[in-house]
Amino acid sequence: MTSLPFDTIVFDLDGTLIDSALDVGLAVNRVLQEEGLPQMDEAIARSLMGEGGKVMVARAFAKAGRKLEEAALNALTRRFIGYYKDNPVAHTLPYPGVPETLQQLQRDGARMAVCTNKFEGPARQILVALDLMRFLDDVAGADTFAVRKPDPGHVTQLAARMGASLRHAVMVGDSMHDVHAGHGAKIPVVAVSWGYTVQAPATFGAEILLERFADLPQALVELARQRQAV
């Protein structure tokens, strides 16, 4: 049993739990350099993130002036993933308050999982390296199921694999994809204010906008109050 109003919490990863932009950007830049194209600075890398490695590679090459056919994109994405897996946590860190808050939520009885458009293998590798995996029941990546966010099936199939009900579940993320996936799965969404998005998080349509990760437990209580008032 949990003392929280929500017993299952599904988190996005990059831009929500961890700041990985520099490491992701370095791996993409290595591929760009090998292809004779200009490299990105960190600000541009952040602006291209949020939909997984394959989309980021496509966006980075498009920004450098090269449109990729599917076969070339797949090959370059595999190269990017290889470089990224070699050293995914050189500069990557959890956002402030993440480990402590996850520990508190676990202590309060919440079941937690990550639903990310990063491939599952690298996601698990990073979570283990940052000592966050011990708080989580499961991880679903872009390659775990036949669908990925914003498709709600990414969330519902993850919950089914966990053996968790979505009746008292909530999604926490930094993008419109997280909001669409959560609402499509018929669960409320907490949007964070610090992630990788060019769109203002306040415009996402999430039920709650979180300014500090440490405030999540109280935000869940407020979210429950909102739902009871409807």
Active site residue 12: yes
Count, residues in the chain: 230
- Of the candidates 7, 12, 14, 19, the residue annotated as catalytic is 12
Q: CB within 8 A of 200, min separation 6: which ones?
A: none
Do 67 and 157 meet the contact criterion of CB atoms below 8 Å apart? Answer: no
Buried b (16+ CB within 10 A) or exposed e, 129-140: ebebeebbbbbb
Token output for 94: 């959890």
Q: Beta strands 93-94 and 189-192: pairing type?
A: unpaired
* Catalytic sites, residue numbers: 12
